[in-house]
Amino acid sequence: MRETTTDLPEPIRRQAERILHEINFAGSMILAVKSGAKAQGFIMGITCCDGLSTERCELLSDHFDSVVEQKLRALTVGL
């Protein structure tokens, strides 16, 4: 998590880490998916206001997707 968010501007980094925390500590598949949707809305907002480059937004989006996918797998097998 840290290596993906380290170089972000401070306000964006703080919010990204909050969302990642929500995903990582989601207690159900529904909460994990909702947090993933929140992450995508966050990325769309950053993209629309030119807060980061398009490439950086895509990398951050891919990272959020990966974290959600890992969490859903863990919840599926009961870890």
Mean pLDDT of 40-57: 95
Q: Is residue 3 part of a domain?
A: no
For residue 30, pLDDT beyond 90? yes
Using CA atoms, how far residue 30 sits from 10, 48, 72, in Å, is 29, 27, 9
Its domain, for residue 37, covers 11-77
Confidence of residue 35 (pLDDT cuts 50, 70, 90): very high
Confidence of residue 24 (pLDDT cuts 50, 70, 90): very high
CA angle 6, 40, 58 (to 5 degrees): 55
* Number of domains composing the chain: 1
Q: Is residue 71 part of a domain?
A: yes
Interacting residues of 18 by C-beta distance below 8 A, sequence separation 6+: none
Q: Is residue 6 part of a domain?
A: no
Q: Is residue 1 part of a domain?
A: no
What's 78's DSSP letter? T
What's 52's DSSP letter? S
Supply φ then ψ for residue 78, to 5 degrees.
80, 25
Q: Is residue 72 part of a domain?
A: yes
The predicted structure's pLDDT at residue 5? 82
